[in-house]
Amino acid sequence: MSGLKRSKRFSSHGRKRKRRSNFPTLHPSLILFNANIITMDASHPTAEALAVLRDRIIDVGDSERIMELAGPKTKTIELRGKTILPGLIDCHNHLVEFGLSLKTLDLRGAQSIHDLKDRIRARAGEYNDWITGRGWDQEKFIEARYPTRYDLDETMSRKPIFLRRICGHVAVVNSAALERAGISSGTLDPLGGMIDRDSVGRPTGILRETAMDLVEEKVPSPTLDDYKAASLAAFERALAAGLTTVHCITSSKLELSALQELHGENKLPIRLYLFLPIHKLKSALQLGLRSGLGDDWLRIGGMKVYADGSLGARTAALNAPYHDDIQNRGILTYKAEELENLIAAAHRNGFQIAAHAIGDEAVRVLLGSFRKLRNSEKLRHRIEHASVLNPSLIEEISELKLVVSVQPNFITSDTWIDTRLGPERASYTYAFKTMKQMGVLTVAGSDCPIEPLSPLLGICAAVDRSSAQALTVNDAISLYTKNAAYASFEEHIKGTVKNGKLADLVVLEKDPREVPVSTISQIQVLMTIIGGKIAYRSSKLQQHDHKRLF
């Protein structure tokens, strides 16, 4: 009965009175009652029940009144005090890439280079040619160093190996992969990237940023069927996490085609808001694409551009050297003028821009580009990550009315942040509360597969902080609901539990506001409802709960 404090529990067998509804001749298709509804609507913050007609919420209120609307064919579900939130929205997710990664080597959690090599050996026989994987982190290795081509050569010298670091901004490859790509001591660093070399100039196998492309372009690309299968696998995981919408970052035309085909086959169980790579701008214009094109299930969001790399790889662009690498300030992916031209072209052609900028120098350069745009607030342009900030940068972000898309789980995974940046800069890292206080509209996502998919993990990370930047639970939930809906121009249909909104909902085992903040991530998702239909049901429910709920 958590959260039901205003009235006694209502039984569906109670006597009904005359029905009151805005739809007098139509009965709801679904009613959820005896629930603890956190509406995220400031004018009506809590409720006990809601009614759905087709894919829309048509009434929200107390259980007794809402149950009076039920007809003979209305499906009614008593939730016994379980918590309902608006459907959760992940605003930064490589969802299809995540699906593809489920078929590759999972290197997350490897504690040593020896462990890394054991994982390669264990599955090498499954691959006919290229061995690919992702998830290693040298910060967790007992050797306290990057793996090299020679480490990988010990596991497999004939098949080429390409393994991305967990952040996706660095990869390690073996000698066979370097040979396939034609990389040698005489190969120049590409613009926006770097080939690590030993003391005599030989490539070590570590490739940073755009240098990875030299090898990755040799890896066989997934087929259309591969993309479709990967998407379906990822959708299942997303629904189980309580997600109803994902802002999905795509990387290829074939990936977009796979999602379009699944939509045409009525196989999209989750709503997608897509970002296309900015180097595909010309192709997108030829196809007549624009931000907002699509429907409630599959919609074009905008263009994604990378301004720098990651802190974990020391490729995020900083305005002063890394505290633990004083010769290094990171890498700007583009020269300032090139970045400005790309952003101006996308803006001029009606595309929302999602710009990856982690370091303070990357944010500074990016703001210079946004500052020159006319009426930029109309397209709700976004900065993705904005990890290292200071008050002056935050103030300018607020003045330009930019949306900032953060990844709260970075807080828990970036355990080395003080070492990497030093205490002063670290104090303005992941400055969620300061951004809120200074009027910056902030949203959140997972950056999966870099971090786990669960939005509850993100909510927990945003709240369970010892620093002054910790958010309240309600503010953290806002990042994944009403704020997130604004970032995709969908605040009129998503983000709150309110009449007329899409019936996208998540049912949780417990109220995140009523448990110790450190345990928010452990709350179970019981149901995910999209468009008034149950898209996911938990298999972990106890038998007596299963009977009452379903």
Could you report the per-residue pLDDT of 432-461, keeping only the tens digit for each?
Answer: 999 999 999 999 999 999 999 999 999 999
Residue 128: its pLDDT value, please? Answer: 86
**In this structure, which topology does domain 224-487 adopt according to CATH?**
TIM Barrel (3.20.20)
**pLDDT tens digits, 502-532:** 999 999 999 999 999 999 999 999 999 999 9
Residue 428: its pLDDT value, please? Answer: 87
CA–CA separation, 292 and 467 (whole Å)? 38
**For residue 10, what pLDDT band results from cuts at 50, 70 and 90?**
low
Does the pLDDT value for residue 7 go beyond 60? no
**pLDDT tens digits, 108-144:** 999 999 999 999 999 988 888 999 999 999 999 999 9
Residue 543: its pLDDT value, please? Answer: 45
Q: Considering the domain delimited by 95-216, tell me its CATH architecture.
A: Roll (3.10)
Residue 14: its pLDDT value, please? Answer: 45
Residue 549: its pLDDT value, please? Answer: 54
Q: Which residues make up the CATH 3.20.20.140 domain(s) of the chain?
A: 224-487
Q: Which helix (H) or strand (E) holds 38?
A: strand 36-38
**For residue 539, what pLDDT band results from cuts at 50, 70 and 90?**
confident
CA–CA separation, 159 and 12 (whole Å)? 64
Does domain 30-86+504-549 fall under CATH 2.30.40.10? My reply is yes
Strand order in the sheet with 203-209: 105-106, 131-136, 161-165, 170-173, 203-209, 193-197
**pLDDT tens digits, 239-297:** 999 999 999 999 999 999 999 999 999 999 999 999 999 999 999 999 899 999 999 99
Does the pLDDT value for residue 9 go beyond 80? no
Residue 297: its pLDDT value, please? Answer: 98
**pLDDT tens digits, 465-484:** 988 999 999 999 999 999 99
Q: Which residues make up the CATH 2.30.40.10 domain(s) of the chain?
A: 30-86+504-549
Q: Which residues make up the CATH 3.10.310.70 domain(s) of the chain?
A: 95-216
Coil, strand or helix at 383: strand
Q: Which helix (H) or strand (E) holds 95?
A: helix 95-101
